[in-house]
Amino acid sequence: MKPKLLAVVGPTAVGKSDLALSLAQQFNGEIISGDSMQVYRHLDVGTAKVSPTERKLVPHHLIDILNVQERYGVQRFVKDCQALIPAIHDRQKLPIIAGGTGYYLKALLRGLQLGGQKSSDERIRKQLEERLSKDGAPALWHQLEQIDPVTAAKVDVHNGRRLVRALEIYLVTGSIPSAQQDQPDQYDALLIGLNCERSLLYERINRRVKLMMQQGLLAENEWLRNQGTELPALKGIGYREFSPYFAGQQNLATVVDAIQKDSRHYAKRQLTWFRNQLPVRWFNLVEHPEQLTEIEQMVQKWRKTNDV
């Protein structure tokens, strides 16, 4: 019998955290953050972490587990979840993954091999990292697009670390990353997706960024840059856009515009990815809050097929 796993996915600013918290309270669940940035301590505003008060209501995992100098990636996420999920089941609780990166979730659900052995070469990786530093992430992305457009469509053009890894796999193995075969589903998973009309979604994203500024996003970025100049966390949306500001090249208004734009583009990519890669059941709680009842009934029926 496959262990049950509930996931709440979708673009930013549609209420995923609120829904996950509500479902966890109703169905005796524990929440696993699927966000690759929420693992970092002190980065609270830009990553839109749930509040300490909300975390006291329901156990949350994979939040505030690393210092900003440390790296976190899909292999670590899968390993962490593979330890957390059975432990949550042992406590007679329902594991709920909230938000995060679609690729992370697919890797967990489908048991993707993530390169496996003989797909790493330190010399090649170093050469790619040197090129990344010299030419920038977009140059690597365009190379990846020519080699493997399927993988390139899934990777943020500014995500240098994932671009280096994808190109490393190709250069070491001679196989394109997207050729990796999915394994049978590892879990009895129910994926609930949240979305709303696009112009409304973009309006919500823009408002959220402005609220983050009011909540101290600038101060958070000042603190982060005092920790180092080559930190993995500096690649995230809400942090990378501040570099021109601290270099004296842009004002804060321009930075805010850039964060809003990057967030909107990321939301669009998230939706495209989930619709093409995973069997998500979509709902619009922003415009139709009454759909919450339908979601709750769906989860209840799914749980009864084999109780946790």
Q: Is there a binding annotation on residue 174?
A: no
Radius of gyration of the chain (CA): 19
Has 289 been labeled as part of a binding site?
Answer: no
Question: Which of 41, 48, 98 lies closest to 72, judged by CA?
Answer: 41
The structure tokens listed for 250 are 């842009």
Query: Is 10 among the annotated ligand-binding positions?
Result: yes
CA pair distance 263, 37, nearest whole angstrom: 14
Does the annotation place 13 within a ligand binding site? yes
Would you state the torsion angle of the CA atoms of residues 286, 13, 17, 196, taken in this order, to the nearest 10 degrees? 30
> 207-230: buried (b, 16+ CB within 10 Å) or exposed (e) per residue?
eebeebeeeebbebbeebeeeeee
- Token pair for 280: 């998500």
Binding site, by residue number, is 10-17
Binding site for ATP, by residue number, is 10-17
Binding site for substrate, by residue number, is 12-17
